[in-house]
Structure 1
C-alpha cells in the first residue's frame, strides 16, 4: 500500500523521526511496524548517499519512508526525489506562492516541472516509463506549516493542487510568534488549532509531532492524522538515562 493510500484511508498513520542516518536503525524501526518514517535532512548532516541507504534498508517492508528536505529548492528536491522516497516534506511553506513553487518542483509535467533522470526512484532506468506515469499519483507532497504567516495563509495554501498533507511545526511556529521561550503559551496552540480546522474543512490530512503516547492519543482524538511518535535520539536518550538511573538507585 502506498503512503498516499494510507492517508486516504482516513485512519491515523503512525511515524517516527530518524535523525541519526543509520540504515540498520531505519531497517530495525521499519520492521517494528510504523506506518512511515520521517527521514530528517533539514536539521541533520545527512548526505544524499545516507538518505538513499536508509530508503534501501526500508524497502521490502510495509513501512514507507518520507524525507524532509532542507529548503524549497528545485535542485535539492529533484535530487532527493530521485533517491526514491515515498514522499517529500517541504519546510517553510508560508504562502500560496511557496506552495505552488513546491508543487512545480515535486511533480512531473503537466502538473509540475520535475526533471526526468535515471536514478534509484526510476529503477536506474529500468522502470523509467512506469515511474513517470505514476509518480505524481504515488509520491506524496507534504508541506510544513511552521510560521505565523503560513497560518494566516493556510486556506490559500490548502487550495493548491497536488498537496497531499500538511504537518504543523509547533516549535518554529512559536519562534515566529516570538514565543520560543514560552512554549506553553496558549496562543501557540490556538494557531495550531486554526491549521487543524482548516485542514478538516479542506479534507487535507494534518500532522503533528507528539512528545509522548498520551499526547499522541490526544492529538488523534482532535483529528490529527499523521502523528510522529518521537525521534530516534530522544527515545535513545530517554531509554538509556532511565536504564542508568534505575541501576544506580540505592
Structure 2
C-alpha cells in the first residue's frame, strides 16, 4: 500500500492547483467540493472550531475524490500538535505566521521523520495502522508542508525561509500581511504589492511552490496569471453566507415586484 500526494500529482499534470478554506467543519461540504473537482481543501483550525475527530471525517471525504486535505494549525509554536495531526491522517499542514529560518527549521523537525526531522514513529491512522510500507520514507516524500508568509518580518527573511529543507510551499496571507505592513485590507497598495512580489520571486528562485489566498474567481485567475501555483478561491462559510443572501434578496425582490 502506497501513499499519494494529490497536490504534487496535480501540480505536475496541470501546473497549478485550486483550493478552498473550509471553516464549516463539514465533511459534506468537503465531499461536494471533491465531486466538483477541487484539488485541495484547507481545514481552518486557526480561526474556526473544527476538532480533530471531525478533521479525520473531512479527510476521509476528500480521499474519496482524490482531493488533498490540509489543516491550518492555530499555533505556529505548538510543534507536537503538528505531529499529532499528521498521525491521524491529515495530508499536510499549513503553518501561519512563519517569520524566520529558525522557526521554519523547528516546524520541519516535527513534521518530518529522521533523517530530515525528529517526528516520532506511531501506528495510527497516518500510517494506516502499519499498512503503508516504509511509512517514514513515504511520509517524508508525500506529506505536504506549507508555511505562511504574512508579516513584514517574514518577507524580510523569505530568502532564508525558502531554503528550508523539507518545505513545499510558501503561502501569502494578504490580509495579515497588509495589516502588518500598515495598510489593512489594501492588497493593491504599492507596499503590499511589492511584498507579495518579493515572496513570489523568492519562491521561483528556490524552487518552492508559491501560494496565495483569494476570495473569488477573478482574483484567483489574476494570481494564477501572476505566477502563483497554489491558490485558494473561496472560504466555504463566506461563500454560503454571500450566495444565500443573493438568493434571498432575489426571491424577495422578485416577489415584491409582482
Question: Of the candidates 96, 110, 113, which is equivalent to residue 105 of structure 1?
Answer: 110
Contact 2:97 2:149 in 1 (8 A): yes
Deviating beyond 3 angstroms after TM superposition, the runs of 4 or more aligned structure 1 residues are 7-10, 181-184
Note the residue ranges of structure 1 that are not aligned, 5 or more in a row.
Answer: none
* Corresponding residue for residue 80 of structure 1: 85
Correspondent of 1:135 among 139, 153, 159: 139
Contact preservation (8 Å) 1:4, 1:164: no
2:81 aligned with 1:63, yes or no? no
Q: For residue 234 of structure 2, what is the aligned residue in structure 1?
A: 230
Asked if residue 168 in structure 1 is aligned to residue 169 in structure 2, the reply is no
CA distance in 2, matches of 1:9, 1:154: 27
Preserved CA contact (<8 Å) 2:187 2:193: no
Q: How many residues align?
A: 249
**TM-score, normalization by structure 2:** 0.91
Aligned pair 1:48/2:52, yes or no?
yes
Q: How is 1:1-250 mapped onto 2 (pairs within 5 angstroms)?
A: 2=5, 3-9=7-13, 11-72=15-76, 73-127=78-132, 129-180=133-184, 182=186, 184-249=188-253, 250=257
TM-score (norm 1): 0.94
Change (3 A) 1:29 1:181: closer
Question: Structure 2: which 5+ runs fail to align?
Answer: none
Find the residue that maps to 2:232 and give its secondary structure: strand
Q: Distance in 2 between matches of 1:63 and 1:181?
A: 30
